[in-house]
């Protein structure tokens, strides 16, 4: 326990921070305990002084609690068994699964336990099987790591590495848009993760800030592969009901099921804008029509001449392609053009209406927008240094 807290304290001193009982506080250079951070890329991660108390601090993974009385290390425990992990607290709940913060009783590592409830008459949900099969083959610094799988009569539990927060929560803590340098770091890592899975012909199909995990060192990791699909397996059953509405590209909104990696690229572009301006790029509320209108107001209304075949898409409606009244979203490009280092150009290459014309993740990584990042981040290995595998 002490070693874990000592390591966290050292990490925060390297970041130029000191721990408080709750939240973070910037170190004062006049403070005797202050030492200037070393020039690692993550030291510029934006951290603002909190004016309100938070119930849990990332600097203390145990949240100030002590489990010494009810937690005992055991030898001989095996992977794949429920008693090898201890639940500490619930951190999220969805329709089909509940996520807990936990700890491995095998090695003391913090973990995230995604517990999928089993329905006796249906067995293991197919989406869970697909998620497990894909994640077991993905080992990358920008992909959440699956440590273990536990299968019982009552539940299927995925054991993931524990990551402190997600991009949605991070943006909530830093309203009004993120620091431009941090946007660049996060966007670079998002594209690295996409380039990795796209190179293996895997589509995520559910990109949104809630599915991008952020560690306290500024590492971004793609998570929640429940809707992911592999294009290496021939399939004619792709659905247009993928991706949360705000991050769904126009071709899929119009009912296209013949999509590829450009699907994820559009979602990444929407997240890019959201990080920069602090609000969603295209926040449709009512239906597909409203979502398309918000998109057309920014990128323009496409025509059959511009986009051959658009009239043949299943959800095509001529009334949906009428000129849009100017909206506040037209100001998106104006705000981007005021930012340095080709921000506007990258956004425009990503948020292209016609899917075949969107830039790929690999090409986007070479865009001049990222030229100001220090060389070490450009030279990071794709494959994570795992050391001794957990399973």
Point out the residues that are catalytic. 206
Cα–Cα dist 308/304, whole Å: 5
Q: Would you call 24 helix, strand, or coil by DSSP?
A: strand
Q: Are 301 and 324 in contact (CB under 8 A)?
A: yes
**Token output for 133:** 């099969």
**DSSP letter string over 298-355?**
HH----TTTSTTGGGSTT--GGGGSPPPP-GGGHHHHHHHTSSTTHHHHHHHHS-SSG
Is 36 part of any known ligand binding site?
no
Q: What distances in angstroms separate CA 357 from CA 124, 262, 307, 334, one per listed residue?
A: 39, 9, 10, 22
User: Of 285, 272, 261, 290, nearest to 333 (Cα)?
Assistant: 272
Q: Would you call 160 helix, strand, or coil by DSSP?
A: strand
Give the residue numbers of the binding site for ATP: 114
Binding residues are 114
């Amino acid at each position: 326990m002490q070693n874990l807290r000592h390591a966290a304290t050292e990490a925060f001193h390297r970041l130029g921070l000191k721990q408080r009982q709750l939240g973070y506080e910037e170190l004062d250079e006049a403070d005797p305990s202050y030492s200037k951070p070393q020039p690692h890329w993550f030291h510029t991660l934006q951290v603002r002084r909190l004016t309100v108390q938070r119930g849990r601090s990332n600097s203390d993974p145990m949240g100030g609690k002590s489990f010494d009385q009810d937690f005992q290390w055991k030898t001989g425990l095996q992977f794949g068994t429920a008693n090898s992990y201890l639940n500490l607290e619930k951190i999220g709940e969805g329709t089909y699964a509940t996520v807990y913060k936990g700890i491995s009783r095998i090695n003391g590592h913090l973990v995230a336990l995604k517990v999928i409830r089993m329905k006796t008459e249906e067995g293991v949900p197919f989406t869970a099987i697909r998620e497990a099969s894909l994640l077991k083959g993905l080992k990358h610094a920008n992909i959440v790591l699956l440590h273990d799988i536990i299968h019982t009569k009552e539940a299927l539990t995925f054991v993931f590495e524990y990551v402190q927060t997600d991009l949605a929560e991070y943006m909530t803590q830093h309203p009004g848009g993120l620091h431009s340098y941090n946007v660049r770091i996060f966007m670079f890592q998002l594209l690295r993760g996409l380039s990795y899975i796209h190179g293996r012909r895997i589509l995520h199909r559910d990109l949104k800030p809630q599915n991008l995990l952020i560690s306290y060192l500024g590492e971004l990791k793609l998570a929640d592969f429940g809707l992911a699909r592999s294009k290496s397996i021939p399939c004619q059953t792709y659905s247009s009901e993928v991706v949360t509405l705000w991050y769904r590209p126009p071709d899929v909104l119009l009912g296209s099921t013949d999509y590829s990696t450009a699907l994820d690229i559009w979602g990444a572009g929407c997240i890019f804008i959201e990080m920069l301006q602090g609000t969603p790029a295209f926040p449709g509320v009512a239906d597909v029509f409203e979502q398309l209108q918000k998109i057309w107001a920014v990128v323009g209304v496409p025509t059959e001449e511009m986009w051959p075949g658009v009239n043949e898409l299943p959800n095509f409606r001529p009334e949906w392609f009428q000129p849009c009244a100017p909206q506040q979203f037209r100001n998106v490009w104006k705000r981007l053009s005021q930012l340095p280092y080709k921000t506007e150009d990258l956004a425009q290459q990503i948020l292209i209406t016609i899917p075949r014309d969107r830039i790929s993740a690999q090409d986007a990584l070479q865009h001049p927008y990222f030229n100001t990042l220090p060389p070490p981040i450009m030279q990071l290995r794709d494959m994570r240094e795992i050391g001794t595998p957990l399973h």
